[in-house]
A and B are shown apart, each in its own frame.
Chain A
Amino acid sequence: MEKNELVAWENKCIQEESPECSSACPLHLDARLFLKEIQKGDWDAAYKVLNKTVPFPGILGRICDHPCEERCRRGPAGGPIAIGALERLCVERYAGKKRVQPLPRKDRRIAVIGAGLAGVTAAWDLLKKGFTVSVFEPGDQLGGSLFDLPDQLLPRKIIREELSILETLMADIRLGVQLDKALFEQVAEEYDAVVLDRDSLYGCDLSLKLDDDGLIAIAPATGATERDGVFAGGGTRFRGGFSPVMETLEGRKPALSIERLMQKVGLEYGRENEGPCSSRLYTSLDGIVPLPRVAARDSIRGYTEEEAFLEAKRCIQCECMECVKKCLYLERYKGYPKKYAREIFNNERMLLGAARQYNVFVNSCSACGLCETICPNDFNMGALCLVARRTMLDQKFMPPSFHEFALEDMAHSNGELFTLCRREPGTTENAWLYFPSCQLCGTAPLEVVSSYRYLRESLSGGVGILLHCCGAPAYWAGREDLFKEALDKIRALWIEMGKPRIITACSTCLNIFQEHLPETKPVSLWDIMLEVGIPDAACAHGTTRNRVGIVDPCATRHNPVQQKGIRTILNALGIQIEELPLSGETPECCGYGGLMYNANPTLARDVVTRRTTASDNDYLAYCAMCRDNFAAAGKRISHLIEHLFPAVEGGDPAARDWISWSDRRANRCRVKELVLRDLGEKEEAHLEEYEKLKLTISPCVLKRIDERRILQEDIRKVIFHAETSGKKMLNRESGSYLASLQPGNVTFWVEYSPEGDGFTLLNAYCHRMKIVGIMQ
């Protein structure tokens, strides 16, 4: 990932955008944090938040016109938070001392003419930036028109106390000065830059251009007047009404401009968001119970601490986190997409001595696209992870363990044990080509064979069959080479077959073909069924006594037509439907997608387990992996094809148990064998010697080895090798044997005992670390 790509990804995620309150505040006070501190009861911390942004908290905290409240997201749910009133209480109760250290001075001298709120703000900011500052004020004290405010609202004592900080910072304060053109010219000559407080200078002729309101004209973004080095701000009461917070902002702008002028950098660059601005932050109000604003019992004195605490509690602490709320994967790594994009970027540029910490993360996403659907800004974590996986492969730091098992499973589907391409017997040209999908063949072999028979009987023009994998596992693994190889093979066979239209029974295959082989004009088995009619043998069994929750596969997210078609078929079968919370546009993956199950099996199990609790009803899936993964998590679930082409009359497909990876492979081989038999061909199955071993496995051992991703084929190879080579170990007590073999990257260990003319498997485990041997 290049830096500009990172910036583009980061910009898509809006979680770190300022909340509405801060964006509305001309000074960008972090009101959300201020309220959070009050929620915690930590008033000192709340004061610190104010003090960090606001120049004179004691003043502004009492008189701020709080534009933040207008845009508060709590507004529609009981009224905006009384941020202004809470600020007031916060500064009233603050008893701490202000500690300010005089800073080392720069030799640049700045003059501030007029000590109203804008003027004193400019002086304060400039002093903090290290300039030597002189303040010229006609009155006998600093504060200008602040003294016109009622004492009850803003006690005079407070104005004096707060502004005394300028003296502490060694400002050169000149009171009782006549403000006129002569002074201005003298000061402009003597100082490096000048700030004019337009509130104090209203009506004073300085021979500067004026605006429509009679105020010294300025560039709004910088506060620059027509004269070089002279800046101005303030005077809101002469144009629509006194706004203390805007007055403050207008004192702050010239101070920043002067700093830039002195540093000889552009005055305007990057200041678009200074002052009130819009925010892209999305905050859902779902589940937010409306609560009215807390009223102060004594409306003159304002909130008590308890009242303030209750009011602050109403703040919902705006944030987006929409995707994280729904996706267990995004939740588990305790961040959000913007943070993750940065981590992935850093992971690719591992700093010297640091460990990569996001390899597993990058490979744990199911790439189901739920985040993109939910995100107000369409952030797609799967797309980001897929790019990152390709980079890991390119830069050669992709651990083989993340995808090897899945890719070997795909290789099995694309090997001679499963691959088959045939025309319908007695035809030379076929209008259709049935591509049932490798995983559906793996879980429902008899039903697949029946569905092919049904297609041949229902469609004219001939229906050929292609048993193969669409290449999705390679796509998810970032293995573009293997993916291309699979697609090229399918395309070649499709051309050889005379370019028939592909019918598939798997939503993932359908998506892959639509995107990567659109020329095959792929259509789903279910859509064909809606055209030509539901098979005669179809019936709802087992599940009809209750409603079933439909599990929409994540691959149908953007295919409402297919989802609707499935429901039509279920209605026709008399099956009552329960819509699960994550359906339609927002289904979650079952853990197979993106090969999550391979790189992060624990997460995949947790994802599916959480989904099993959405309803007590049986589930009904139309994706093979959804069926198998839910069944493995103990949920009663059937696949649609089991109702359409019942293999057993009066059976209860939802009662069918989980299925092992070995059995999936065996089932695929079975489909090939049965189809060939159906088509009048017979293939002599060639069995390797190790495949002829008689092997007994108890259900609990079978489940254990399947979770360890050990196939029965691996077990047979180990035992066969041990028995033929004699290389094994004997347990003195139990008489069982232990043997190992490393056929590829993995070393398998098998404990077994002879049983009649075969063997009983007692245990098996594996590791990837390679045994070098005994060290000399």
Chain B
Amino acid sequence: MNFSQESADWSCTSCGGDLSLIKVGFTYMKGSFEIDLPACAACGQVLVPESLALGKMAEVERILEDK
């Protein structure tokens, strides 16, 4: 999954800066993951695109719920 398009589409309003693809950490039910996502290097704001939240992320949530 590549979110460079989303990265280009959005900007951070807190610092007015561009977003870039940065490694972001997630946890859920004893599992932890890292994924490259659009984020603001200056203030740490992260963007989780809808396609990720409803797709892969939901899928992994379901798998972990059955662990």
B13 at the interface (CB under 8 A from A): yes
Which residues in window 1-21 of B have CB below 8 A to A?
A: 8-14, 19
**What is the CB-to-nearest-CB distance from A729 to chain B, in angstroms, rounded to a whole number?**
4
**What is the CB-to-nearest-CB distance from B7 to chain A, in angstroms, rounded to a whole number?**
11
- Residues of A within 8 Å of B34, CB to CB, are 775
- Please report the C-alpha to C-alpha distance between residue A730 and residue B34 in the assembled complex, in whole angstroms: 24
- Please report the C-alpha to C-alpha distance between residue A729 and residue B47 in the assembled complex, in whole angstroms: 8
**What is the CB-to-nearest-CB distance from B6 to chain A, in angstroms, rounded to a whole number?**
10
- Residues of B within 8 Å of A359, CB to CB, are 65-66
- Please report the C-alpha to C-alpha distance between residue A402 and residue B62 in the assembled complex, in whole angstroms: 10
A773 lies within 8 A of B10 (CB): no
B45 lies within 8 A of A727 (CB): yes
B53 lies within 8 A of A772 (CB): no
A770 at the interface (CB under 8 A from B): yes
A772 lies within 8 A of B45 (CB): no
Q: A727-B45, A729-B10, A769-B60 are in contact. Are A749 and B39 (CB under 8 A)?
A: no
A733 lies within 8 A of B39 (CB): no
B57 lies within 8 A of A399 (CB): no
Contact bitstring A145-183, B, C-beta under 8 A = 1, else 0: 000000000000000000000000000000000000000
A360 at the interface (CB under 8 A from B): yes
B61 lies within 8 A of A769 (CB): yes
The CB with the most chain B CB atoms within 10 A, among A733, A766, A774, is that of A774
**What is the CB-to-nearest-CB distance from A723 to chain B, in angstroms, rounded to a whole number?**
10
Of the candidates A728, A731, A766, A775, which one forms a contact with B25 in the assembled complex, judged by CB atoms under 8 Å apart? A775
Contact bitstring A396-437, B, C-beta under 8 A = 1, else 0: 010101100000000000000000000000000000000000
- Residues of B within 8 Å of A399, CB to CB, are 29, 64-65
A356 lies within 8 A of B14 (CB): no
- Please report the C-alpha to C-alpha distance between residue A747 and residue B58 in the assembled complex, in whole angstroms: 12
Sorting the interface of chain B by its residue count into under 10, 10 to 19, 20 to 34 or 35 or more gives 35 or more
- Please report the C-alpha to C-alpha distance between residue A773 and residue B44 in the assembled complex, in whole angstroms: 7
Q: A359-B66, A726-B14, A731-B10 are in contact. Are A767 and B23 (CB under 8 A)?
A: no
Q: A771-B24, A772-B27 are in contact. Are A749 and B10 (CB under 8 A)?
A: no
A737 at the interface (CB under 8 A from B): yes
B14 lies within 8 A of A727 (CB): yes
**What is the CB-to-nearest-CB distance from B45 to chain A, in angstroms, rounded to a whole number?**
6
- Please report the C-alpha to C-alpha distance between residue A776 and residue B14 in the assembled complex, in whole angstroms: 21
**What is the CB-to-nearest-CB distance from A714 to chain B, in angstroms, rounded to a whole number?**
14
B19 lies within 8 A of A729 (CB): yes
A749 lies within 8 A of B45 (CB): no
Closest residue of chain B to A359 (Cβ to Cβ) is B66
A546 at the interface (CB under 8 A from B): no
Q: A726-B13, A770-B28 are in contact. Are A401 and B54 (CB under 8 A)?
A: no
**What is the CB-to-nearest-CB distance from A5 to chain B, in angstroms, rounded to a whole number?**
23
Q: A727-B45, A729-B45 are in contact. Are A773 and B13 (CB under 8 A)?
A: no
Of the candidates A357, A768, A771, which one forms a contact with B61 in the assembled complex, judged by CB atoms under 8 Å apart? A768
Closest residue of chain A to B24 (Cβ to Cβ) is A774
**What is the CB-to-nearest-CB distance from B35 to chain A, in angstroms, rounded to a whole number?**
10
B25 lies within 8 A of A772 (CB): yes
- Residues of B within 8 Å of A738, CB to CB, are 10, 47
Of the candidates A401, A402, A773, which one forms a contact with B46 in the assembled complex, judged by CB atoms under 8 Å apart? A773
- Please report the C-alpha to C-alpha distance between residue A733 and residue B23 in the assembled complex, in whole angstroms: 25
A132 at the interface (CB under 8 A from B): no
Which residues in window 324-374 of A have CB below 8 A to B?
A: 355-357, 359-360
B65 lies within 8 A of A769 (CB): no
A765 lies within 8 A of B53 (CB): yes
Q: A732-B10, A732-B11, A738-B10 are in contact. Are A771 and B67 (CB under 8 A)?
A: no
**What is the CB-to-nearest-CB distance from A452 to chain B, in angstroms, rounded to a whole number?**
42
- Residues of B within 8 Å of A662, CB to CB, are none
A728 lies within 8 A of B13 (CB): yes
A767 lies within 8 A of B11 (CB): no
Which residues in window 736-776 of A have CB below 8 A to B?
A: 737-738, 740, 747, 749, 763, 765-775
- Residues of B within 8 Å of A772, CB to CB, are 24-27, 32
- Please report the C-alpha to C-alpha distance between residue A296 and residue B64 in the assembled complex, in whole angstroms: 61
B46 lies within 8 A of A356 (CB): no
A730 lies within 8 A of B11 (CB): yes
- Residues of A within 8 Å of B66, CB to CB, are 355-357, 359-360
A774 lies within 8 A of B23 (CB): yes
Contact bitstring A709-736, B, C-beta under 8 A = 1, else 0: 0000000000000000011111111000
- Residues of A within 8 Å of B67, CB to CB, are 355-356, 397
- Please report the C-alpha to C-alpha distance between residue A729 and residue B15 in the assembled complex, in whole angstroms: 10
**What is the CB-to-nearest-CB distance from A759 to chain B, in angstroms, rounded to a whole number?**
15
B14 lies within 8 A of A766 (CB): no
- Please report the C-alpha to C-alpha distance between residue A499 and residue B45 in the assembled complex, in whole angstroms: 56
Q: A399-B29, A774-B24, A775-B25 are in contact. Are A729 and B12 (CB under 8 A)?
A: yes
**What is the CB-to-nearest-CB distance from A576 to chain B, in angstroms, rounded to a whole number?**
45
Which residues in window 41-61 of B have CB below 8 A to A?
A: 41, 43-48, 50, 53-54, 57-58, 60-61
- Please report the C-alpha to C-alpha distance between residue A225 and residue B59 in the assembled complex, in whole angstroms: 67
Q: A767-B53, A775-B24 are in contact. Are A401 and B13 (CB under 8 A)?
A: no
A730 lies within 8 A of B10 (CB): yes
Contact bitstring A575-614, B, C-beta under 8 A = 1, else 0: 0000000000000000000000000000000000000000
- Residues of A within 8 Å of B24, CB to CB, are 771-775
**What is the CB-to-nearest-CB distance from A603 to chain B, in angstroms, rounded to a whole number?**
14
- Please report the C-alpha to C-alpha distance between residue A731 and residue B7 in the assembled complex, in whole angstroms: 10
Q: A738-B47, A773-B44, A774-B24 are in contact. Are A767 and B14 (CB under 8 A)?
A: no
B28 lies within 8 A of A771 (CB): no
- Please report the C-alpha to C-alpha distance between residue A767 and residue B33 in the assembled complex, in whole angstroms: 14
Closest residue of chain B to A726 (Cβ to Cβ) is B14
Of the candidates A731, A763, A770, which one forms a contact with B9 in the assembled complex, judged by CB atoms under 8 Å apart? A731
- Residues of B within 8 Å of A767, CB to CB, are 48, 53, 57-58, 61
Q: A767-B61, A774-B46 are in contact. Are A733 and B9 (CB under 8 A)?
A: yes
A729 lies within 8 A of B13 (CB): yes
- Residues of B within 8 Å of A357, CB to CB, are 66
**What is the CB-to-nearest-CB distance from A444 to chain B, in angstroms, rounded to a whole number?**
33
The CB with the most chain A CB atoms within 10 A, among B8, B19, B48, B63, is that of B48
Q: A355-B67, A767-B58 are in contact. Are A740 and B48 (CB under 8 A)?
A: yes
What are the nearest 10 A-B pairs in CB distance? Answer: A772-B25, A399-B65, A767-B53, A769-B28, A729-B10, A775-B23, A769-B26, A765-B50, A775-B25, A359-B66
Listed by A's residue number, 22 A-B pairs whose Cβ atoms lie within 8 Å are A359-B65, A399-B64, A399-B65, A727-B14, A729-B19, A729-B47, A738-B10, A738-B47, A749-B50, A767-B61, A769-B26, A769-B28, A769-B60, A770-B28, A772-B25, A773-B24, A773-B25, A773-B46, A774-B44, A774-B46, A775-B23, A775-B25
Supply 9 further A-B pairs (C-beta < 8 A) apart from A399-B65, A749-B48: A727-B45, A738-B47, A769-B57, A769-B60, A771-B25, A771-B48, A772-B26, A773-B24, A774-B44
